[in-house]
Amino acid sequence: MSAEDRATPGDASTLRIGEVAKATGLTTRTLRYWEQLGLLAPNGHRESGERLYTSAAIERVGRIRELQDLLGFSLAEVKVVLDAEDELERIRSDMRSHTEPGERRKLLVELIATNDKLLGRLDDTLGRIQTFRDERAVKGKRMRKALRELDAEHSATTG
């Protein structure tokens, strides 16, 4: 019967959904929801229907959180990025497969465009946050100066 299972169920590196949840700090609900959105699929299922993951899922969760929290992407946007990454991985591991060179080239060009677009977006965001940061730094200096003046005034009064 173990031959029926897809995800090497006896394997020590096989994780149940609760284990992935615990390892990532997410809830099982979130993991199922993300699966529903096509962000994170289990490696396979047992006959009972139980989801089985590998440790790669944990890394993928980290990637998703990075995009979600760090860059403020919606899960739909995250999916676009991850799909591109997956596509790239597929192409790279599939490089000498039976796929036609023309087709492969087309995919690559598409990926490069996607990547460049993302890079542009990142640079834009970086620039704007940098500007904002610098403004803040200037304000901080002004505030410290005001504080020093206040203290000098006080010591002049009391001294």
Q: Which residues contact DNA by CB under 7 A?
A: 16-19, 21, 27-30, 32-34, 37, 46-51, 68, 74-76
Q: Which residues does residue 53 pair with via DSSP β-bridges, in sequence order?
A: 15
* 69 interacts with, out of a second copy, DNA, none, CB within 5 to 8 A per kind: a second copy
Q: Is residue 76 a contact point for a second copy (CB under 8 A)?
A: no
Quote the distance between the C-alpha of residue 148 and its chain's center.
44
Interaction of residue 69 with a second copy, rule CB under 8 A: yes
Q: Which does 101 bind (CB under 5 to 8 A by kind): a second copy, DNA, none?
A: a second copy
* Whole-angstrom distance, CA of residue 82 vs CA of residue 16: 23
Q: CB neighbours of 111 closer than 8 A, spacing ≥ 6?
A: 84, 87, 88, 91
Residues 6, 116, 155, 159: which binds a second copy (CB under 8 A)?
A: 116
The rounded distance, in Å, linking the Cα atoms of 48 and 94 is 32
- Mark out the alpha helices in the chain (DSSP H runs): 17-24, 28-36, 55-65, 75-93, 101-158
Binding-site member from 36, 101, 155, 156 for a second copy (CB under 8 A): 101
Using CB under 8 A, pick the residue from 112, 152, 156, 159 that binds a second copy. 112
What's the CA gap between 15 and 17, in Å, rounded? 6
Chain residues in the site for a second copy (CB under 8 A): 66, 69-72, 88, 91-92, 95, 101, 104-105, 108-109, 111-112, 115-116, 118-119, 122-123, 125-126, 128-130, 132-133, 136-137, 139-140, 143-144, 146-147, 150-151, 153-154
